[in-house]
């Protein structure tokens, strides 16, 4: 429900040595859904202040939360001391140049070289449901969606009359979910052009700084490790300047109360629906107030806005929880499963796949693939995914990206004969592409060197012996998409792994005009989205799995197009526990690509039990990444049992509530987690011993999320207890050998 309340704020202040009474008219516009309240205040001058974001509060006058009467607000006949006012109030969408010296959301450079911007509210409107984000000339901007009865949207319009620029701030609140999503769109209504130097998606402010900031950081094969640090005076941020959301920092941040645990305390979670350069920054001002801003990284960003052109910021998802970090995560999971991920696979169990990457790398031919598929199908595996190396003359990672034609030395007669044979085994077939890349040694690069991102006259930095294609150029997008189509139309390909294996460098475009070169970072991402949108629209049955050297683009922007993302190249079960834990802070298990691979693990050299590898991969889409014809016989024989387990528990994992019971970042001797059905009728619990310790008693782990009044049977031990007992007394797990795992199934009796 979106409501407006006008009120008069009256307060007494010292003025010229005497106490005087002042009053002013203000308007509070608030959004409520029973779970949370979000409120903005509009002052008599039209400033848009932040009023409240948190647990639902009653229909009361909350205009006092605008803190208009605070020192050092120094009224003088009701004219503010503007400089102090601007620098000390809580703003919804701060600008630069009129006295707010903290981080702005918007910076505009006009034709005269001036950078001041002063936005005042001109009005607002409400919309049932959630309109798609739009920008002229852009075919798709990924964002959460909702039916008319599932959300309400508030659009506040502000104007800088001097620049003749308007900003539309969009807020959506979802029915029953403690979530607000935000975006901002600026439009040039004037006769002059100007440059948008920064356009962040949103800002939230608090009149205190008693928070820890949680971020997800890492590198290749070690993505999304959890960092939690108390806020301190000044700025603290994570960002990406790589052109992709990156291994190094995820576009996620949470501000949580110092005492917040999985089960209690306050948590504000933020996640940007964007796959390129981003910034998430918390700033603690000397007043002790905190400003949090997030959006496209302003670093090296500049966007020319000609008359009547617009620019739309990606969507910022903001989750509130007063029941701890676990509840925050579960809200993200519900939101993404219900309102972000799309397509025919959204709610379905995914086929159990076997991917040949760790099995063969580049060294395969049709017979080898067929042999793997045949044994795999006998064991119940449902899809063969042919990874890198099937195209051009690619026998190593030094050539042929961009030449998406089948290497007939490996696959005679093209894809069709192989795919037909795979289909005849009753299996589906999937294929790897890296559509954003070009190898210097490729027919494409020889024909179109200008299609690679580059600065003419400078050396081009290679990474994995490849360059990045200029997806801001429609010709490039058309060409690459045409090649993908030709392959998809040549055989029954039902799955694509869309990979992206390097960051951008020498970011210049031969097709963009000089004045628009700094737009390339963002135009690149929009170009990628456009091709993914065409692909998923033209081939709606396709299961698309995103990947970026593992999980370098595990973000909501990608989830809008692909229901699953390869979580990490690190398939070691023990490392995966941490990676999956970090990823789970805001992404659901249904989105995590997870495979059982061979041992010793290719990255770490570690050997773990086959059963543990299976139990850990159950937290995800599940599949295999090994040569099934060559693994030990007993592992091969274990596959049908593992698949049966996956089929039994995947509905719970995919649709249920995820409770993290251990924390491998704090205690590396074990981890445990559980998934509980939404109706609380059953749950699956998993325990993994990491390194066992001598002389430790069995462990008692408290279960979560059960119905306290219902009786549950532990199907694995036969124990029967009240949900309350399982949650307060816990389940006892005896010490296991290093890296061993146990799962337990709890059902209501
Ligand atoms: C990336 C992916 C891997 C694999 C290789 C192929 O590293 O993350 O899963 O597809 O590329 O080159």
Contact 190, 165 (CB under 8 A): yes
pLDDT of residue 8: 93
Site to substitute for ligand 1 among 244, 247, 388, most atoms within 8 A of C-beta: 388
Ligand 1 center from residue 401 Cα (angstroms): 13
Question: How many CA atoms are closer than 13 Å to the CA of 110, on its beta-carbon side?
Answer: 17
Ligand 1 center from residue 499 Cα (angstroms): 7
Site to substitute for ligand 1 among 547, 594, 595, 602, most atoms within 8 A of C-beta: 547
Residue nearest to atom 6 of ligand 1 (CA): 388
Ligand 1 center from residue 569 Cα (angstroms): 7
CA distance 467 to 523: 17
Helical pair 520-538 and 474-490, crossing angle rounded to 10 deg: 30
- Mean pLDDT, rounded, for 583-610: 97
16 pLDDT higher than 80:
no
718 pLDDT higher than 60:
yes
Ligand 1 center from residue 580 Cα (angstroms): 18
> Using the 8-state DSSP alphabet, how is residue 451 labeled?
G
Q: Which two tokens stand for residue 70?
A: 């605070």
387 CA closest ligand 1 atom index: 10
Degrees (nearest 5) of the Cα angle 222, 223, 226?
105
Range list of H helices, 292-442? 324-339, 357-360, 366-378, 415-424
- Mean pLDDT, rounded, for 367-374: 98
CA distance 329 to 245: 20
pLDDT digits (tens, 9 = 90+) for 381-427: 999 999 999 999 999 999 999 999 999 999 999 999 999 999 999 99
693 pLDDT higher than 90:
no
Residue nearest to atom 2 of ligand 1 (CA): 549
pLDDT digits (tens, 9 = 90+) for 169-217: 999 999 999 999 999 999 999 999 999 999 999 999 999 999 999 999 9
569 CA closest ligand 1 atom index: 8
Q: What residue ranges line ligand 1, CB within 6 angstroms?
A: 357, 387-388, 397, 432, 499, 501, 547, 549-550, 566, 569
According to DSSP, the β-strands at 495-498 and 428-433 are parallel
> Using the 8-state DSSP alphabet, how is residue 315 labeled?
P
- Mean pLDDT, rounded, for 435-454: 98
CA distance 637 to 398: 37
Ligand 1 center from residue 549 Cα (angstroms): 6
Q: Which fold has domain 670-748?
A: Immunoglobulin-like (2.60.40)
Q: How many CB atoms lie within 10 A of CB 264?
A: 16
Site to substitute for ligand 1 among 357, 400, 435, most atoms within 8 A of C-beta: 357
Coil vs helix vs strand at 160: strand
Ligand 1 center from residue 205 Cα (angstroms): 41
Helical pair 366-378 and 415-424, crossing angle rounded to 10 deg: 20
Q: Per-residue DSSP letters for 45-90? A: T--EEEEEEEE---S---GGGG-TT-TT---BTTB--HHHHHHHS-
77 pLDDT higher than 50:
no
74 pLDDT higher than 60:
no
625 CA closest ligand 1 atom index: 9
Ligand 1 center from residue 497 Cα (angstroms): 9
Site to substitute for ligand 1 among 551, 569, 576, 592, most atoms within 8 A of C-beta: 569
Averaged confidence pLDDT in the chain:
96
549 CA closest ligand 1 atom index: 8
Name which residue leads in pLDDT, 724 or 287.
724
Q: How many CB atoms lie within 10 A of CB 541?
A: 10
pLDDT of residue 10: 86
Domain with CATH 2.60.40.1180 in the chain: 670-748
Which residues are CB-contacts of 16 (< 8 A; sequence separation ≥ 6)?
none
CA distance 278 to 299: 9
- Mean pLDDT, rounded, for 718-744: 96
Contact 435, 529 (CB under 8 A): no
Give how far the C-alpha of residue 590 lies from the chain's centroid of Cα atoms, to the nearest Å: 13
Q: Which fold has domain 353-434+472-501+544-650?
A: TIM Barrel (3.20.20)
Ligand 1 center from residue 388 Cα (angstroms): 7
Residue nearest to atom 11 of ligand 1 (CA): 549
Ligand 1 center from residue 334 Cα (angstroms): 29
Please pick, among 160, 555, 569, 572, the residue that the annotation labels catalytic: 569
3-state helix, strand, coil in the chain (%, to 5): 20, 35, 45
Residue 749's nearest CA partner among 712, 719, 717, 715 is 712
pLDDT of residue 695: 87
Residue nearest to atom 1 of ligand 1 (CA): 549
Helical pair 415-424 and 474-490, crossing angle rounded to 10 deg: 50
Domain with CATH 2.70.98.60 in the chain: 94-339
550 CA closest ligand 1 atom index: 8
499 is catalytic: yes
CA distance 712 to 514: 67
Q: Where residue 504 falls among pLDDT bands split at 50, 70, 90?
A: very high
Site to substitute for ligand 1 among 364, 431, 432, 621, most atoms within 8 A of C-beta: 432
pLDDT of residue 356: 98
> Using the 8-state DSSP alphabet, how is residue 95 labeled?
B
Ligand 1 center from residue 568 Cα (angstroms): 10
82 pLDDT higher than 90:
no
Q: Which residue has the tokens 């659009």?
A: 155
pLDDT of residue 80: 66
CATH hierarchy code of domain 94-339: 2.70.98.60
Q: Which two tokens stand for residue 133?
A: 């984000």
Q: Where residue 306 falls among pLDDT bands split at 50, 70, 90?
A: very high
- Mean pLDDT, rounded, for 95-103: 95
pLDDT digits (tens, 9 = 90+) for 111-169: 999 999 999 999 999 999 999 999 999 999 999 999 999 999 999 999 999 999 999 99
R_g of the chain, CA atoms, integer Å: 27
Provide the percentage of residues in the chain whose pLDDT is more than 70. Answer: 98
pLDDT of residue 21: 81
Q: Which residue has the tokens 């010490």?
A: 735
432 CA closest ligand 1 atom index: 10
Residue 570's nearest CA partner among 597, 591, 590 is 597
78 pLDDT higher than 70:
no
pLDDT of residue 399: 98
Q: Per-residue DSSP letters for 504-516? A: --S---SSS-GGG
Q: What is the pTM of this model?
A: 0.97
Please pick, among 499, 572, 635, 671, the residue that the annotation labels catalytic: 499
Provide the percentage of residues in the chain whose pLDDT is more than 90. Answer: 93
């Amino acid at each position: 429900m979106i409501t407006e309340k006008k009120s008069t704020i009256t307060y007494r202040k010292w003025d010229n040595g005497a106490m005087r009474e002042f009053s002013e008219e203000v308007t509070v516009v608030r959004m409520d859904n029973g779970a949370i309240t979000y409120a903005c205040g509009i002052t008599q001058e039209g400033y848009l202040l932040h009023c409240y974001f948190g647990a639902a509060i009653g229909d009361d006058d909350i205009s006092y939360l605008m803190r208009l009467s605070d020192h050092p607000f120094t009224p003088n006949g009701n004219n503010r001391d503007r400089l102090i006012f601007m620098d000390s109030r809580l703003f919804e969408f701060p600008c630069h140049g009129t006295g707010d010296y903290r981080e702005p959301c918007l910076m505009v450079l006009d034709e005269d070289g001036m950078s001041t911007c002063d936005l005042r509210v001109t009005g607002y409107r409400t919309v049932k449901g959630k309109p798609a984000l739009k920008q002229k000339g852009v075919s798709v901007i990924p964002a959460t969606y909702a039916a008319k009865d599932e959300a309400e949207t508030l659009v506040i319009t502000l104007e800088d009359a001097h620049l003749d620029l308007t900003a539309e701030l969009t807020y959506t609140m979802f029915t029953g979910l403690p979530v607000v999503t935000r975006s901002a769109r600026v439009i040039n209504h004037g006769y002059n052009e100007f440059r948008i130097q920064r356009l962040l998606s949103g800002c939230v402010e608090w009149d205190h700084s008693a928070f820890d900031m949680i971020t997800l950081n890492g590198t290749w094969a070690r993505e999304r490790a959890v960092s939690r640090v108390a806020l301190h005076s000044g700025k603290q941020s994570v960002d990406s300047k790589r052109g992709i959301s990156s291994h190094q920092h995820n576009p996620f941040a949470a501000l949580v109360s110092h005492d917040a645990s999985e089960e209690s305390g306050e948590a504000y979670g933020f996640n940007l629906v964007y796959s390129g350069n981003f910034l998430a920054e918390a700033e603690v001002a000397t007043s002790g107030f905190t400003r949090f801003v997030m959006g496209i990284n302003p670093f090296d960003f500049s966007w020319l806005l000609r008359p009547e052109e617009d620019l739309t910021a990606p969507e910022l998802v903001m989750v509130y929880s007063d029941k701890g970090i676990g509840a925050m995560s579960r809200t993200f999971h519900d939101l993404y499963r219900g309102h972000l991920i799309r397509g025919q696979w959204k709610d379905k169990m995914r086929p159990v796949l076997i991917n040949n990457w760790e099995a063969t790398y580049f060294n395969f031919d049709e017979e080898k693939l067929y042999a793997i598929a045949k044994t795999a199908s006998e064991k119940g595996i449902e899809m063969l995914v042919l990874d890198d190396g099937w195209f051009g003359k690619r026998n190593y990672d030094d050539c042929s990206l961009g030449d998406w034609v089948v290497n007939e030395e490996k696959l005679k007669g093209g894809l069709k004969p192989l795919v037909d044979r795979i289909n005849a085994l009753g299996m589906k077939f999937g294929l790897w592409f890296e559509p954003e890349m070009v190898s210097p040694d490729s027919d494409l690069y020889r024909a179109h060197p200008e299609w690679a991102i580059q600065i003419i006259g400078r050396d081009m930095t290679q990474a994995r012996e490849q360059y990045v294609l200029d997806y801001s150029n429609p010709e490039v997008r058309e060409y690459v998409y045409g090649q993908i189509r030709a392959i998809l139309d040549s055989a029954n390909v039902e799955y694509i792994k869309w990979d992206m294996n390097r960051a951008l460098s020498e970011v210049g475009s031969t097709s963009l005009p000089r004045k628009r070169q700094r737009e390339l970072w963002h135009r690149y991402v929009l170009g990628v989205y456009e091709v993914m949108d065409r692909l998923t629209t033209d081939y709606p049955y396709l299961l698309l799995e995103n990947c970026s050297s593992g999980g370098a683009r595990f973000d909501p922007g990608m989830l809008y197009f692909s229901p699953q993302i390869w979580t990490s190249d690190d398939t070691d079960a023990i490392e995966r526990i941490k990676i999956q834990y970090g990823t789970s802070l805001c992404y659901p298990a249904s989105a995590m690509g997870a495979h059982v691979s061979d041992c010793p693990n290719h990255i770490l050299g570690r050997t773990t039990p086959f059963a543990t590898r299976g139990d850990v991969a159950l937290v995800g889409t599940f599949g295999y990444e090994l040569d099934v014809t060559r693994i030990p016989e007993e592992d091969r024989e274990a596959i049908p049992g593992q698949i049966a387990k996956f089929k039994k528990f995947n509905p719970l994992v995919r649709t249920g509530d995820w409770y993290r019971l251990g924390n491998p970042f704090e205690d590396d001797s074990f981890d445990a987690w559980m998934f509980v059905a939404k109706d609380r009728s059953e749950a699956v619990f998993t325990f993994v011993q990491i390194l066992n310790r001598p002389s430790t008693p069995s462990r008692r782990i408290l279960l979560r999320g059960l119905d306290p009044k219902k009786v549950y049977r532990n199907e694995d031990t036969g124990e029967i207890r009240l949900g309350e007992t399982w949650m307060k007394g816990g389940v006892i797990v005896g010490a296991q050998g290093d890296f061993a795992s146990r799962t337990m199934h709890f059902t209501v009796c």
